[in-house]
Structure 1
Amino acid sequence: MHTTPGDLEDDLAAAVGGAEIFAVYQPQVSLESGSIVAAEALCRWRHPRLGDIDPVTMIGVAERTGVIHALGRRMLDECLGTLAGWRETGRDWAVSVNVSPVQFEDESFAEHVAGEFQRRALAPGSLVFELPHDLPPVDDGAVLSQLHMLRDIGVEFSLAGFGDEPPSPDLLRGLPVAEVKLPGHLVRAAERPAPASLRDRVGVAHEQGLRVVAEGIETLTHLDIAVELGCDRAQGFLIRQPHEEITFP
């Protein structure tokens, strides 16, 4: 059956409130302790006719149509419920949620998050918003106000793609970033000993007080390189593939 972009737009708008949209979680481990400390929530769309829709396509449709606001709130509420469930079972983990810059155009976004944070009595640092690496420097006063409001209630921010291109100093100064993520393709392409260029990049992040997460860890060699680089955390298929439920302690 031929599906047009318009069909996907209509289908996504209808799917946001149902079971077609769901989250899968990929654990992050501390490279110091080896224990799970967090998990990244990834949005998935299982279309009834087309099967699994590529996440990049889904987010593109959502941003283009404005559905991203409803989708973002749906994902946030689901992730916060999961976070509460982890806490009830003694798992003191954080959840990392990908956020589109478009979501900050909604002036009530931070207020909604703050309300949920308070209602659920979440601990500072238990919710992390992951921002794309190509985020332009933020100079919108209203957006910055929301970012700092979220930081003040205990939400942390993570910047993806650290290492593809150095983020601009203006961006890092303007954002309340606590964490950066080293792309998996850089880790997987590296050979031992770990290249000085990547070690320097991790060192710069640490000098700025930022936590570093190595993504895309698929083999023990990749994990060894992440340790040599001085990364704080790691995630990838070696540790666990994304799944709807993390079933081990």
Structure 2
Amino acid sequence: MRSTEDLADDLASAVRTTEIFAVYQPQVSLETGSVVAAEALCRWRHPHLGEIDPQRMIDVAERTGVIHALGRRMLDDGLDTLEEWRKSGRDWAVAVNVSPLQFDDDSFAQHVATEVPRRALRPGSLILELTSDPQPSADSALLPRLQMLRDRGVEISLAGYGTASLPPDRLRQLPLDEVKIPGSLVRATQAEAQASLREEVATAHAHGLRVVAEGIETLTHLDIAVRLGCDHAQGFLIREPDSEIAFP
């Protein structure tokens, strides 16, 4: 197995090539059943190792600083795809995963702020999905940058809602538009767990947030998402991630 350092070197080079590419998984409105957005998911096809596990890739990128170049590459790919959707008459949003580390300096936020008017993006068509709850110690730099982007029509989403790692009071601190419930929680069958999650959804709605259920793999999971009161859903039942953008 290649070391983290070797993989980091490979990844730093791959960011500039077609080894790195995006696949897209649509989100549907649970009210209308229509596609409303698609999440851009990063993939790495290593020339010698084959498909690299996405979580391993992100771990390496975050530990070594490659996340900055990788994050900008995924943002630009997502925005290019958004323009293709718009040209073909598909008025969807694109959700791009971002690590909180990408906001350590101002360059990423400024790049996004530049691209929004340059590409004439409609408000809400770009969603930046924070892959984890940032450390409160980073808030003094992070929160003004997130708010600046929201003021320019970019929506902010947070993954991992409903887990112990995200205290409820963080909803009041972070400038959010959306939270995403992990599939592992949506798929929980215990009545007590579902009742607790229903309260979490109600709390998010009370803060004016949209709630997305991830990991929808069966009709039973879809029914749970509806009963929880979620707004949008994504998962293999709806569509597996795909490099094609022409979703029906």
Residue 171 of structure 1, CA deviation: 2.7
Map 1:45-124 onto structure 2 (within 5 A): 45-124=44-123
Residue 138 of structure 1, CA deviation: 5.3
**Which range moved further: 142-151 or 236-245?**
142-151
Following the alignment from structure 1 to structure 2, what is the Cα–Cα distance between the partners of residues 138 and 169? 17
RMSD between aligned residues: 1.8
Residue 4 of structure 1 corresponds to 3
Residue 137 of structure 1, CA deviation: 2.1
* Count of residues paired in the alignment: 248
Residue 144 of structure 1, CA deviation: 2.1
Following the alignment from structure 1 to structure 2, what is the Cα–Cα distance between the partners of residues 161 and 141? 22
Map 1:70-219 onto structure 2 (within 5 A): 70-137=69-136, 139-165=138-164, 167-190=166-189, 195-219=194-218
When residues 170 and 191 of structure 1 are mapped into structure 2, their CA distance, relative to the original with a 3 A threshold, is closer
Residue 246 of structure 1, CA deviation: 3.1
- Contact persistence 1:128–1:157 (CA under 8 A): yes
Q: Match of 2:162, SS? A: coil
Structure 1: stretches of 5+ with no match in the other structure: none
Residue 4 of structure 1, CA deviation: 2.3
- Contact persistence 1:156–1:176 (CA under 8 A): no
Following the alignment from structure 1 to structure 2, what is the Cα–Cα distance between the partners of residues 240 and 5? 32
- Contact persistence 1:137–1:171 (CA under 8 A): no
Residue 192 of structure 1, CA deviation: 7.6
- Contact persistence 2:143–2:175 (CA under 8 A): no
Following the alignment from structure 1 to structure 2, what is the Cα–Cα distance between the partners of residues 182 and 9? 30
Per the normalisation by structure 1, the TM-score is: 0.94
Per the normalisation by structure 2, the TM-score is: 0.94
Q: Match of 1:213, SS? A: strand
Q: Match of 1:96, SS? A: strand
- Contact persistence 2:81–2:245 (CA under 8 A): no
Q: Match of 1:189, SS? A: coil
Following the alignment from structure 1 to structure 2, what is the Cα–Cα distance between the partners of residues 138 and 206? 26
Residue 186 of structure 1, CA deviation: 1.4
Q: Match of 2:187, SS? A: helix
Letter in 2 for 1:199: R
Residue 173 of structure 1, CA deviation: 2.6
**Which range moved further: 45-54 or 187-196?**
187-196
Residue 225 of structure 1 corresponds to 224
Letter in 2 for 1:226: A
Q: Match of 2:136, SS? A: coil
Residue 36 of structure 2 corresponds to 37
Following the alignment from structure 1 to structure 2, what is the Cα–Cα distance between the partners of residues 64 and 91? 37
Following the alignment from structure 2 to structure 1, what is the Cα–Cα distance between the partners of residues 60 and 166? 26
**Which range moved further: 42-51 or 160-169?**
160-169
